[in-house]
Chain A
Amino acid sequence: MNQNMTQQGVQQFRLPDVGEGLTEAEILTWHVAPGDTVEVNQVICEIETAKAAVELPCPFSGTVAELLVEAGATVDVGTPIIAVDTGGAEATQAAEPKAGAEAPARQEDDKTEEAGEERQPVLVGYGVKSGATRRRARRRPGPGRSAPTAPPPPPAGANGADGQARTLVLAKPPVRKLAKDLGVDLRAVTPTGPGGTVTREDVQRHGRATPSAPPAAVPAEAPEPAAAPTGAGSEGREERIPIKGVRKHTAAAMVTSAFTAPHVTEFLQVDVTRMMKSVRRLRERPEFAGVKVSPLLLVARALLTAVRRHPGINASWDEEAQEIVVKRYVNLGIAAATERGLVVPNIKDAHAKPLPELARALQELTETARAGRTTPADMSGGTITITNVGVFGVDAGTPILNPGEAAILAFGQIRDMPWAHKGKVKVRKVTTLSLSFDHRLVDGELGSKVLRDVGTMLENPEEVALAWG
């Protein structure tokens, strides 16, 4: 029952549903910080929902152990937002939001199929956004259970999009739900109910007769050995993962970008043996004491230098104003893979940072992202981006632009390769750079020059730095 307890004396307060059926809220401001003493009902933060901005009173008294959600973040109802050390005094008391945490589960799962962000009318207030996360209980696999999960029928068959005439099937909503769960196409079921309706039994009988649901009724990992007499029991061969949070955001951003900006990608292989030596030498310099110096740092510096020489690459397309906006500053985005998914925070005014400062900013950005504390502000206003796909052990890719930016540079893995060096074949450190750009505002010439500049600088960082300043 009490899921809020984490350890002795420390209790978590989960975001409640403060407005009858809300699924998420944005933390506007925190009024307390770790180490602060809080009383029961003391206002700890302000949140904004689809309906209202409201203050949340603390359900415990104690000392704030941790703020689990950054101000500015939007989180689902039920997410722990603050940990309070109550000194064990209230260890048996829960603050599990009763109405809140369960509200999404009560939603009709049919609604998950509704697209978009339309607000649904509610009795009081301003409506909740659809398309938000909804959870539901998982059906139990194994024998004796009449309604195990199975993959839903192929969408084409289910919605008639395959051109098949849509026949009207009469069935009550729970029966439709059952059919969906069993992967049974209702049109194929022989109805025996009153008025030609399909009954629960009809669906179950059909489900047994025609294993349109996976015939491997019980997967290897299921504990129960035998199939149930009433239906096939299985966790299914597919897993349905709700699209939400970072994944949802990433998808929207990628689709917008891919279908708005005509992408061109160019590739360049570069001998970075010298650059690797530079990296090693830099690590020993006092300016970089306590700071991580990585190849990525020099790639960032090289891109910033290239931007200075070719400002047109650091620009955006303003469709509305019919203008190209060339930025005189660089907010350098760094794509980071985190547990929550892909985030692209950026280093503000990276162009104005000396190398040690850039190194520190890069380190800080990476650590913040890994800890899942990247705020929306950290991610907004980027002008150009680097994605370090090399960390995954691949050479190149055709990266998709961060929306609103004109270029993105992918930095591949650095590996030993046979390479023509000073007239001989030598084993050298080689990497591949891939630059994608928005062909609306960047021509092949400009894109090539930028990529060539980055490559030249990485091949010979110290001399080029001297030559280009």
Chain B
Amino acid sequence: MPVTTSHEEPELIQLLTPEGEFKEHPDYPLDISAEEMRGLYRDLALVRRLDTEAVALQRQGELGLWASLLGQEAAQVGSGRALRPNDMAFPSYREHGVAWCRGVAPKDLLALFRGVTNGGWNPDDHGFHLYTIVIGTQALHATGYAMGIQRDGALGEDGSAVIVYFGDGATSQGDTNEAFVYAAVNNAPVVFFCQNNQWAISEPLERQSRVPLYRRAEGFGFPGVRVDGNDVLACLAVTRAALHNAREGQGPSLIEAFTYRMGAHTTSDDPTRYRMSAELEEWKAKDPLLRLHTFLTRNGLADEAFFAAVEEEAGRLGERIRTECRALPDPAPLDIFHEVYAEPHHHIDRQRAEFADYLASFEGADAEGGR
């Protein structure tokens, strides 16, 4: 029996075209001031600078690894700015733009990739969970957290919703699909935000799904929508609507932000080995910053002075990140034993003592077992 794959062309929710023209969408009216729009542009520009600086720092040996978000700024900033303070976000490991919107300090993000911390920030302080490296597990964490909100009765207009970020590759994972099942049957207040950047490391989307990803939601029993992931306004509008529905007790939904990873999967990857440069060129024309820049300029919502100020601020941010990154303190080798259990534990205490002895047996070791 032939597989029926496409019913019609997938609908793409878009408010701002790549050429910078605004088009209203009947289902997603956007209530936004000019100042908020300039704020979004500033976010996009600063997040891009943060990313560029981090890639450079990795290449200079200051970070062990970095997962670049280049090209995905709008999907992250748009959805990140749709969140309210009492919402909770569960990221994977590339959500630097969402982290930015949640007030996580860039140096705390870098600390993880520098290998000087196992976490980097307190999730409760920011409504932003720790980065999850394992693919898709955070979808289960988010669903469980959402079910907790439900059981706390913390829904409603002043209540909380949960958003979980993952990529197209994670949609092939069991964890993600299990989360879909649980969220659906429990009507959990969670928004599944999939940034489809077309590549799961070197695996293209067509080798992962026979249907557009957002249509998978239907089979699990909740709505799915595809949004232009390079359109910050559409991402904001669509995510706001989904979070609103979740808070109001209408259950989960899936947002597929259709975007593109302009850089490598991580700094350890070389995309030229599996991607055609023509594809990259095609997506360059859809750049998320460019279209908002055009829109703001054309409609007189921002002038050259504004863009110059943002540019200068980005430069300062880059320098600050560079300085802060180099100043991040190395943890002592024994620190790792502090973070295994919340309470003291005799096994860990013994291991700590043994390890301290071992460290002390090396030349140049100091009394604290440092280097």
Within 8 Å by CB of A57, from B56, B65, B114, B201, lies B56
* A residues near B361, Cβ cutoff 8 Å: 139-140, 145-148
Selecting from A92-100, A321-329, A351-359, A390-398, the interface stretch reads A92-100
CA distance A137 to B65 in the complex (A): 24
Q: Please, which residues of chain A bring their CB within 8 A of the CB of B268?
A: 18-20, 51-52, 122, 124-125
Chain B residue with Cβ nearest A58: B60
Which residue of the partner chain, among B61, B201, B322, B363, contacts A17 with CB atoms under 8 Å? Answer: B61
Determine the distance from Cα of A19 to Cα of B66 in the docked complex, in whole angstroms: 10
- In the bound complex, how far is the Cα of B63 from the Cα of A100, in angstroms? 8
Q: Check A146 against B59 for contact (C-beta < 8 Å).
A: no
| Chain B 47-72 interface 0/1 with A at a Cβ cutoff of 8 Å (1 = within) | 00000010010111111110000000
Any A CB within 8 A of the CB of B265: yes
Most chain A CB inside 10 Å of its own CB: which residue of B58, B269, B273, B365: B58
Given contacts A19-B268, A20-B268, A124-B268, whether A97 and B362 have CB atoms under 8 Å apart is no
User: Using Cβ atoms and an 8 Å threshold, which residues of chain B touch A40?
Assistant: 322
Cross-chain pair count, CB within 8 angstroms? 103
Residue of B53, B60, B273, B365 with most partner-chain A CB within 10 A: B60
Is A303 positioned at the interface, with any CB of B under 8 Å from its CB?
no
Structural contact, A98 and B269, CB atoms closer than 8 A = no
Question: Does A437 interact with chain B (Cβ within 8 Å)?
Answer: no
Interface membership of B270, Cβ < 8 A:
yes
Contact A95 to B269, CB < 8 A, known contacts A137-B362, A140-B361, A174-B358: no
**Is B17 part of the binding interface, using a Cβ–Cβ cutoff of 8 Å?**
no
B269 contacts A99, CB within 8 Å?
Answer: no
User: Is the beta-carbon distance between A98 and B59 smaller than 8 angstroms?
Assistant: no
A138 within 8 A of B: yes
Contacting pair B61 A19 (CB below 8 A): no
Contact in complex: A125, B270 (CB < 8 Å): yes
Bound CA–CA A13/B59 (angstroms)? 11
Q: Does A371 contact B (CB under 8 A)?
A: no
Which of B265, B267, B364 is A18 in contact with, Cβ under 8 Å? B267
CA distance A125 to B363 in the complex (A): 35
Q: Mark B146-157, 1 if CB is under 8 A from A, else 0.
A: 000000000000
Give every chain B residue within 8 A of A297 (Cβ-Cβ): none
Within 8 Å CB of B115, what residues of A? 98-99
B residues near A101, Cβ cutoff 8 Å = 61
Chain A, 86-108, CB within 8 A of any chain B CB? 93-101, 103
A348 within 8 A of B: no
Is B357's CB under 8 angstroms from A146's CB?
Answer: yes
Shortest beta-carbon distance, A121 to chain B, in Å?
A: 13
Q: Are A16 and B61 in contact (CB under 8 A)?
A: yes
Q: Is B316 close to A, CB under 8 A?
A: no
Q: Does A380 contact B (CB under 8 A)?
A: no
User: Which chain B residues lie closer than 8 Å to A98 at the CB level?
Assistant: 61-64, 114-115
**Across the interface, do A124 and B269 meet the contact criterion of CB distance under 8 Å?**
yes
Nearest A residue (CB) for B267: A18
Chain A contact patch, size range: 35 or more
Q: Select one of B63, B322, B358, B364 contacting A99, CB under 8 A.
A: B63
Residue interface bits A52-80, CB-to-B below 8 A is 1, else 0: 11111111000000000000000000000
Select one of A54, A141, A145 contacting B59, CB under 8 A.
Answer: A54
Whole-angstrom CA separation of A75 from B91 in the bound complex: 38
Interface string of B249-280 (1 = CB under 8 A from A): 00000000000000011111110110000000
Least CB separation from B360: chain A residue: A145
CB proximity of A223 to chain B, nearest CB, Å = 12
**A contact residues around B114 at 8 Å (CB):** 98-99
Give complex CA distance A96, B114 in Å.
Answer: 13
A134 within 8 A of partner (CB): no
A41 at the interface (CB under 8 A from B): yes
- Interchain CA distance A35-B20 in the complex, whole Å: 44
- Contact (Cβ within 8 A) B365 A140: yes
Answer whether residue B326 sits at the interface, using C-beta atoms and an 8 A cutoff.
yes
A180 within 8 A of B: no
Q: Are B362 and A99 in contact (CB under 8 A)?
A: no
Does B61 lie within 8 Å of A97, measured CB to CB?
Answer: yes
Q: Does A14 contact B (CB under 8 A)?
A: yes
Are A57 and B59 also in contact (CB < 8 A) when A20-B64, A174-B358 are? Answer: yes
In whole angstroms, what is the CA distance A147 to B357 when docked? 10
Determine whether the beta carbon of B60 is less than 8 Å from that of A16.
Answer: yes
B61 & A96 in contact (Cβ 8 Å cutoff): yes
Determine which of B58, B60, B357, B362 lies in contact with A95 in the assembled complex, contact meaning CB atoms within 8 Å: B60
- Min CB distance, A27 to chain B, in Å? 14
Bound-complex Cα distance A20 to B270 (A): 13
How many angstroms between the C-alpha atoms of A141 and B364 in the bound complex? 11
Query: Which residues from 316 to 359 on chain B have a C-beta closer than 8 Å to any C-beta of chain A?
Result: 322, 326, 357-358
| B362 and A140 within 8 A (CB) | yes
Instruction: Knowing that A54-B270, A94-B326 touch, tell me 11 more A-B residue pairs with CB under 8 angstroms.
Output: A16-B61, A40-B322, A41-B56, A52-B264, A52-B273, A53-B272, A54-B59, A58-B60, A99-B115, A137-B362, A147-B358
* A–B pairs, 5, beta carbons within 8 Å: A51-B270, A93-B326, A97-B61, A139-B362, A145-B361
Q: 8 tightest CB-CB pairs across the interface, nearest first? A: A97-B61, A16-B61, A52-B270, A99-B64, A140-B363, A100-B61, A19-B268, A59-B60
Interface residues of B (CB under 8 A from A): 53, 56, 58-65, 114-115, 201, 264-270, 272-273, 322, 326, 357-358, 360-365
